[in-house]
Structure 1
Amino acid sequence: MCGIVGYIGHQQAVPLIVDGLRRLEYRGYDSAGICVLGPDQQLKTLRAKGKLAQLEQQLAQQALPGTLAIGHTRWATHGKPSEDNAHPHRAGGFVVVHNGIIENYLVLKQQLSAHGHQFRSQTDSEIIAHLIEEAYKQSADFPAAVCQALKQLRGTYAIAVLCDQHPDLLIAARNGSPLVLGNGEGEFFLGSDIPAILSHTRDMIFLNDGEVALLRRAELQIVDLDGNRRPYQSKTITWSPLMAEKSGYRHFMLKEIHEQPRAIADTLAGRISENKAEIILNDIQLSTSCLTGIDRLYLIACGTSWHAALVGKFLIEKLARIPVEVDIASEFRYRDPLINSRCLTLVISQSGETADTLAALRQARTQGAPVLAICNVVESSIARESDGVIYTHAGPEIGVASTKAFTTQLIALVLFTLFLAQQRKTLADSQRQELIAALMSLPRLVEEVLQLDEAIEQTVRPYLHARDFLYLGRGNQYPIALEGALKLKEISYIHAEGYPAGEMKHGPIALIDEDLPVLVLAIKNATFAKVCANLEEVHARGGQIFIVSDCDCSDLRALAREYFIIPTTHDDLMPILTSIPLQLLAYHLAVLKGTDVDQPRNLAKSVTVE
């Protein structure tokens, strides 16, 4: 969603802020802005609708010297994309940037209007600046005024605030939206995500909900909303700044697709004892009695992570023998789930900040359920609020459409399932050894699948003007059909639908004609013969058949327009391999169509609002 960058120190701030905002472009945005405290102690603000380049054009025409600044990229929630609605927002001598949603902003706006405040935007964010200005009239104390304003807010926020009367102080605070501080030498950096400031420092401090950071050039204080000092610890981030660069690839998405062998290997590293054929998950932090005592498991996620959860249901029920319910987080929140201390909840989120998933986690906790998380971001809100976490070591994922985060989530689910089966003794040693051996071979097999890249690129051109795609799969391949369809929709803007192959006759078969491409996941497993029968039905109606299979079958070749063979592995791991050709197909079609692959329209990387 929105991005925040801030700086206080001895360097000229504008280049640092612009660089940080550029590194947050992957989050999705519709406008950008910056505010700098100049040598004349005046706050100067520039804002622009559209991409960051529009703001840079203004900066090229109007120099903004200064060593204290904040910047923002906005993704519209309240008010259409416009320069007036772009951040930063100002009231008197106070300037604010904000991520999140203020739920009671209309009530507060009415109260402020009654006190003579006039508003220039349609946003909920602007009221924060006015609240601070109003509170400052009472105390003339900048930190106290910020805390007093924040106490009136209901909702989520990450903010950064400047005041022209306090040229040596940058204030930041969070509640429900991420914010990270970077410690330099006589300087501090601020970002809503690690990549924004990682090129300047690896020494990071993660704010907790309800905390306010007071940043001066040589001093950092963290306080609560009552002004009480709070302890904090810094963490060293091991990501290299180069990990967030394209490394010669045309797009981040393509780079991240090709990074999957390494990401999978990193996620497996240190978690398998090959000698004992055991899984080691030290960060789960739940006792064996807890894990053996659960009688139901909830998997909760959104978007691509929900598709991973659907695969997880097949794994856990088959291997750990526990009933599993899979919920979309935004739906879980608004039903009345039968959940208690014997129901383990596992939430999945790439960013660890997904608002609906975080709210579902909190609901499960209030009902007494132990909570685990699978996520990719250390010290994210979801990771910190869970009883245990399985990190996917995918590294930064910049492309909005998830690729390596998805496959590493599947790896984490396999590891968790094997660990659960190990604790509950539901899997024979020989079965566990077989799966572990297959897991260790996955990075090499993924490398083999990636060799299809050029063939897929050459194949997709005839389908450039297709209006619809149908993806079919059975069993654990059905979630991959959903994921493949989602990828195509996200980045090429072609309508696509994933469907269980056996359900095709119950509706989608009416859509099939000679203009409809149908991609079928035909894996040589227990349902292979059934899938072949479904393929015959598609062929009889003239559908343009794509096949992804782990076997070279002459009968299938006779039906297919396009046929992609991938290596085979244990059936429980095949979804990892079949997902990759679908990622490549979506990518190359999007490139042909000329869409913004890394930042598709209307989408954001980290959905931190409902």
Structure 2
Amino acid sequence: MCGIIGILGKNPVAPQLLDSLKRLEYRGYDSAGVATLENGVLVRRRAEGKLRNLEAVLAREPLQGRIGIGHTRWATHGAPTEVNAHPHASDGVAVVHNGIIENFRELRVELEARGVVFSTQTDTEVVAHLVGQQMKAGKSPVEAVGNILPRLRGAFALAFVFEGNDDLLIGARKGSPLAVGYGEGEMYLGSDAIALAPFTSAVAYLEEGDWAILDRQSVEIRDEAGLVVHRPVIQSTASAFLVDKGNHRHFMLKEIYEQPEVVARTTAHYLDMANGKVRLPADLPFDWAKLPRISIAACGTAYLAGLTAKYWFERFARIQVDIDIASEFRYRETPMVPGGLMIVVSQSGETADTLASLRYAKENGQHVLAVVNVPTSTIARESHIVMPTLGGPEIGVASTKAFTCQLAVLASLAIAAGKGRGFIDEADEDRLVRAMMEAPRYINEALKLEGHIAQIAKSLSKAPNVLYLGRGTSYPIALEGALKLKELSYIHAEGYAAGELKHGPIALVDEAMPVVVIAPYDRIYEKTVSNMQEVAARGGQIILVTDEKGAEHAGIDSIATIVLPDLPSTITPLVYAVPVQLIAYHTAVEMGTDVDQPRNLAKSVTVE
């Protein structure tokens, strides 16, 4: 959520700030702005809406400063207007902020009692005034920031520049990610390595409570107690990824088509394909056979990957699995059996609720395993075991390749758990591993159906409501299909376990209701067919997603059938994810919505 960039440069930094903000667009935003020092004086340029609006402002009113900060804002406090856009400034300081200052109201009341006048509705303006008040009282910029940071409650990443200080940039983080980039005579701050990739691959990640004082030659990092600390400088691989759309119309479509490659990359990392075995780190701090239970916490699409994994773990490893939405788990104060395994799943590795769940699990004696796409993220750094998904940067807000890579990692874990607990033997492991190896080929076959799916989407785009149904591991895929359709096309859609149809949702079914049924020909296929018959009897418009045998045995008229190849049941979630992604994508394209950056959504939700 939001994006931050700060640059201490040799040349005018406004073009670089704008370029970095474009790389952070995937996080989601509704306004943007930059601030630089022009002859020692703070100057800001801000704009509501997309970055092209800010780019137009900068073209009309260019900035020449060699130091600056930039921000893409996702509104939390106050409407997404130019006035509320960052950077905010007061008394010689400008600040950009990612996160939420939870005690901003009491701080605002205190400041107003001192005569401070606020010009925005944001929580961030409080930070600017607090620092400004300190500086008016004679404190240096470093002293001022150091004094106010302990007063801030909540999750935040901050970057400051100061009038009259052309060689000083200060950053701080608590709950939201922030990285320092090292250049030659230049230094940088950024929300992630992608923002810094055009300038440097040498990056240090600030840890929880850290704040950093930068000049063009060096950085001093202090911890929450104010002590100088060292954070390792690593070589980031972010610049190795080409973050552009290539020949595709949208990032989302490009990322859908990258799935055969990235799933193959991920499975190759976790599977010994020559010997038909799962290849996990040798130093796992637990014994699969002795685990009392597994817990999974995640948000959004990552939660649905975890829900799919619950079926796999319970089937292959015969172990009880609790799956929770992280925002509920963190406050439920659930008892946890000591020595259990907590799996947290997050694309960004910075999801606030998932991070809080991780910390709760560690406090309650759990081994914590992270399935993340960013191995340098906070969640990765705070976990005992990290299983990277190797999907590369995902720019589209709606998760696609991250989801299938998460499934690939979780399936590999479930097979390893089954083998480790003695519920599958070497022959079973070999069979399951070889099925996993085939997933990229089957995903590629599913992509060939895009033209057919695009035609189906034309009629779907006219529907006000859509139901998705599935059983077994097809139930999470039904939920994922409904989620994708909602967030991309803004059509109301709901996913249900097919067996729940008669317990309420069937009341909605009529001649105007499309019902997307995810139904591979498996051991529960006939049960799902019974549910389709109930829909058909009430005039519902069935869109059946199945395989060749399923299409042959359906015996029900559907308005459309999407026929996938017959494939091993273990990998059906990875393959069936593709048509539901394409349904949502083409419906959104048909309706003219912003596919890559749907309204009100952010890629990385780093605040509650």
Q: How does 1:336-415 map to 2 (within 5 A)?
A: 336-415=333-412
What amino acid maps onto 1:312 in structure 2? A
Counterpart secondary structure, 2:544: strand
Q: How does 1:523-534 map to 2 (within 5 A)?
A: 523-534=520-531
What amino acid maps onto 1:424 in structure 2? R
Give me the whole-angstrom Cα distance separating, in 2, the residues matched to 1:126 and 1:558: 60
CA deviation string 1:462-496 (max 9, x = no partner):
22211111111111110100000000001001111
Q: Which moved more, 1:111-120 or 1:491-500?
A: 111-120
Contact 2:276 2:431 in 1 (8 A): no
Instruction: Tell me the residue number matched to 1:268.
Output: 267
Q: Which moved more, 1:230-239 or 1:2-11?
A: 230-239
Q: How does 1:116-155 map to 2 (within 5 A)?
A: 116-138=115-137, 140-155=139-154
Give me the whole-angstrom Cα distance separating, in 1, the residues matched to 2:553 and 2:176: 54
Give me the whole-angstrom Cα distance separating, in 2, the residues matched to 1:281 and 1:11: 47
Q: How does 1:396-435 map to 2 (within 5 A)?
A: 396-435=393-432
Contact 1:243 1:395 in 2 (8 A): no
Gaps in structure 1 of 5+ consecutive residues: none
Instruction: Tell me the residue number matched to 2:601.
Output: 603
Give me the whole-angstrom Cα distance separating, in 1, the residues matched to 2:146 and 2:581: 46
In the TM superposition, residue 31 of structure 1 has moved relative to its aligned partner by 1.2
CA deviation string 1:215-267 (max 9, x = no partner):
21122221224442211222222244552110110000000000001110111
Counterpart secondary structure, 1:77: coil
Contact 1:144 1:227 in 2 (8 A): no
CA deviation string 1:543-585 (max 9, x = no partner):
1111111224345265121111112322122111111101001
Q: How does 1:567-582 map to 2 (within 5 A)?
A: 567-582=565-580
Counterpart secondary structure, 1:572: helix
Instruction: Tell me the residue number matched to 1:63.
Output: 62
Instruction: Tell me the residue number matched to 2:177.
Output: 178
Counterpart secondary structure, 1:135: helix
Counterpart secondary structure, 1:169: strand
Instruction: Tell me the residue number matched to 2:582.
Output: 584
Give me the whole-angstrom Cα distance separating, in 2, the residues matched to 1:483 and 1:63: 44
In the TM superposition, residue 140 of structure 1 has moved relative to its aligned partner by 3.1
Percent identical residues:
48
Give me the whole-angstrom Cα distance separating, in 1, the residues matched to 2:240 and 2:552: 48
Alignment equivalent of 2:592, drawn from 583, 591, 594: 594
Instruction: Tell me the residue number matched to 1:20.
Output: 20
Counterpart secondary structure, 2:165: coil
Q: How does 1:493-508 map to 2 (within 5 A)?
A: 493-508=490-505
What amino acid maps onto 2:18 in structure 1? V
* Number of positions where the alignment pairs a residue of Structure 1 with one of Structure 2: 607
Instruction: Tell me the residue number matched to 2:98.
Output: 99
Q: Tell me whether 1:189 sits opposite 2:188 in the alignment.
A: yes
What amino acid maps onto 1:213 in structure 2? A
Q: How does 1:551-562 map to 2 (within 5 A)?
A: 551-552=548-549, 553-556=551-554, 558-562=556-560
CA deviation string 1:20-42 (max 9, x = no partner):
1111112111111110111x111
Instruction: Tell me the residue number matched to 1:109.
Output: 108
Q: How does 1:236-385 map to 2 (within 5 A)?
A: 236-240=235-239, 242-282=241-281, 285-289=283-287, 291-385=288-382
Give me the whole-angstrom Cα distance separating, in 2, the residues matched to 1:556 and 1:132: 68
Instruction: Tell me the residue number matched to 1:451.
Output: 448
What amino acid maps onto 1:141 in structure 2? S
Counterpart secondary structure, 2:221: strand
What amino acid maps onto 2:293 in structure 1? R
Structure 1 pair 208/12, CA: closer, same or farther in 2 (3 Å)? same
Give me the whole-angstrom Cα distance separating, in 2, the residues matched to 1:427 and 1:155: 46
Give me the whole-angstrom Cα distance separating, in 1, the residues matched to 2:132 and 2:507: 62
In the TM superposition, residue 281 of structure 1 has moved relative to its aligned partner by 2.1
Q: Tell me whether 1:515 sits opposite 2:512 in the alignment.
A: yes
Q: How does 1:11-50 map to 2 (within 5 A)?
A: 11-38=11-38, 40-50=39-49
Counterpart secondary structure, 1:132: helix
Give me the whole-angstrom Cα distance separating, in 1, the residues matched to 2:225 and 2:272: 49
Give me the whole-angstrom Cα distance separating, in 2, the residues matched to 1:463 and 1:366: 47
Contact 1:311 1:476 in 2 (8 A): yes
Give me the whole-angstrom Cα distance separating, in 1, the residues matched to 2:105 and 2:22: 32
Instruction: Tell me the residue number matched to 2:200.
Output: 201
Contact 1:4 1:99 in 2 (8 A): yes
Give me the whole-angstrom Cα distance separating, in 2, the residues matched to 1:386 and 1:341: 16
Contact 2:273 2:437 in 1 (8 A): no
Give me the whole-angstrom Cα distance separating, in 1, the residues matched to 2:322 and 2:431: 27
Instruction: Tell me the residue number matched to 2:457.
Output: 460
Instruction: Tell me the residue number matched to 1:10.
Output: 10
What amino acid maps onto 1:134 in structure 2? Q
Give me the whole-angstrom Cα distance separating, in 1, the residues matched to 2:225 and 2:507: 63
In the TM superposition, residue 428 of structure 1 has moved relative to its aligned partner by 1.2
Q: CA RMSD in A?
A: 1.6
Counterpart secondary structure, 1:189: strand
Moved over 6 A (4+): none
Counterpart secondary structure, 2:387: strand
Contact 2:292 2:340 in 1 (8 A): yes
Instruction: Tell me the residue number matched to 2:546.
Output: 549
Contact 1:300 1:357 in 2 (8 A): yes
What amino acid maps onto 2:455 in structure 1? Q
Q: Which moved more, 1:2-11 or 1:455-464?
A: 455-464
Q: How does 1:217-232 map to 2 (within 5 A)?
A: 217-232=216-231
Counterpart secondary structure, 1:499: strand
Contact 1:147 1:226 in 2 (8 A): no
In the TM superposition, residue 158 of structure 1 has moved relative to its aligned partner by 0.4
Counterpart secondary structure, 1:389: strand
Give me the whole-angstrom Cα distance separating, in 1, the residues matched to 2:144 and 2:152: 13
What amino acid maps onto 1:428 in structure 2? D
Contact 1:34 1:46 in 2 (8 A): yes
In the TM superposition, residue 137 of structure 1 has moved relative to its aligned partner by 4.2
Gaps in structure 2 of 5+ consecutive residues: none
What amino acid maps onto 2:589 in structure 1? V
Give me the whole-angstrom Cα distance separating, in 2, the residues matched to 1:278 and 1:430: 10
In the TM superposition, residue 425 of structure 1 has moved relative to its aligned partner by 2.5
What amino acid maps onto 2:602 in structure 1? A
In the TM superposition, residue 331 of structure 1 has moved relative to its aligned partner by 0.9
CA deviation string 1:284-323 (max 9, x = no partner):
853244x432211111111111111110110001111110
Counterpart secondary structure, 2:229: coil
Q: Which moved more, 1:267-276 or 1:518-527?
A: 267-276
What amino acid maps onto 1:15 in structure 2? P
What TM-score do you get using the length of structure 1 for normalisation?
Answer: 0.97
Counterpart secondary structure, 1:45: strand
Give me the whole-angstrom Cα distance separating, in 2, the residues matched to 1:239 and 1:20: 13
Instruction: Tell me the residue number matched to 2:166.
Output: 167
Counterpart secondary structure, 1:53: helix
Contact 1:374 1:392 in 2 (8 A): yes
Structure 1 pair 140/336, CA: closer, same or farther in 2 (3 Å)? closer
Contact 2:435 2:570 in 1 (8 A): no
Give me the whole-angstrom Cα distance separating, in 2, the residues matched to 1:101 and 1:354: 14
Contact 2:285 2:367 in 1 (8 A): no
